[in-house]
Amino acid sequence: MQVHDDETMQWSAKVFDIDTGEVLLEHSVDRVLNTASVGKVFLLHTVLDQVDRGERVLEERITRRPSEVIDNSGLWYLLQADTLSVYDICTLIGAVSDNAATNTLCRVVGLDAVQQHTERLGYRDSGLDDIVRWPMQPGQSPTLSHGSARELADFVARIARGETLTSSSIDVFTRWLGAGMDCSMVASAFNVDPLSHYYYDPEVWLWNKTGTIGCARADIGVAMSQTRRVAYAVLANWRRGDDRRDEALAQMRAVGEDIRRHLLR
């Protein structure tokens, strides 16, 4: 496996077998890059940590505010319902990276609480930086989230091992991300049904979270066969104004193809 930096595109990538520790790919693993929507995983994790501590219930119902409705990524902006349960809001974030759901949940949970929780997990180079804003204003964070492949691959591996949350919350977390409909990056190599792939389909079980903006692609997750489990974080950034999407997606698919060969060997 390999990815390639050049004068306008940079990568951070780590792929490893969760159970044996075998490293399948390492490339600038401590490089911190713009990860677009990937940092929303820390919001979801914070919610479930609060549930485990008895500070929140997933049945709590939350009403969105007009200022929180951001279109483009998501479905809630198309729905008539203004009030949803915390569980349903989190499902929208996991399945379609819903921006309105992210903003509403961030108000309720608190961005500071998410950032503090991320630090308690031990992550200094990865995190959720802001709510989703458009148009951007001076003084606001230039990134929605940031991260390094080392930390993000470690984060998903810990979930797969049953660490950081109770078993019931881990099941909920992986179901949320297992509903993720973006299989355009590393996951494209697995040829799964993008609408239904939480269980083996046909050979690989996948849960992941992606991030997409005009100058970045990021994909983190866990891919499993019936005998192996692989954690991965593959992040690409390129210079604004360049269109490097096709090259980035091709390299990410190539990484996924190598993961698939490892899983099915």
pLDDT, tens digit, 9 for 90 and up, residues 34-44? 999 999 999 99
Residue 200 has pLDDT above 80, yes or no: no
- The model's confidence at residue 170, banded by pLDDT at 50, 70 and 90, is very high
Please state whether the predicted TM-score (pTM) of the whole model is above 0.75. yes
Query: What is the per-residue pLDDT for 137?
Result: 79
Q: Which fold, 9-264?
A: Beta-lactamase (3.40.710)
How many whole angstroms separate alpha carbon 244 and alpha carbon 241?
9
The confidence band for 261, taking pLDDT boundaries of 50, 70 and 90, is very high
- Pick the closest to residue 39 from 100, 137, 123 (CA basis): 123
Averaged pLDDT of the chain: 96
The band of 2, judged by pLDDT with boundaries at 50, 70 and 90, is confident
Q: Is 195 helix (H, G, I), strand (E, B) or coil?
A: coil
Domain coordinates in residue numbering, the chain:
9-264
CA distance 58 to 129: 24
Share above pLDDT 70 across residues of the chain, in percent, rounded to a whole number? 100
Would you state the pLDDT for residue 147? 98
Q: Residues, the chain, total?
A: 265
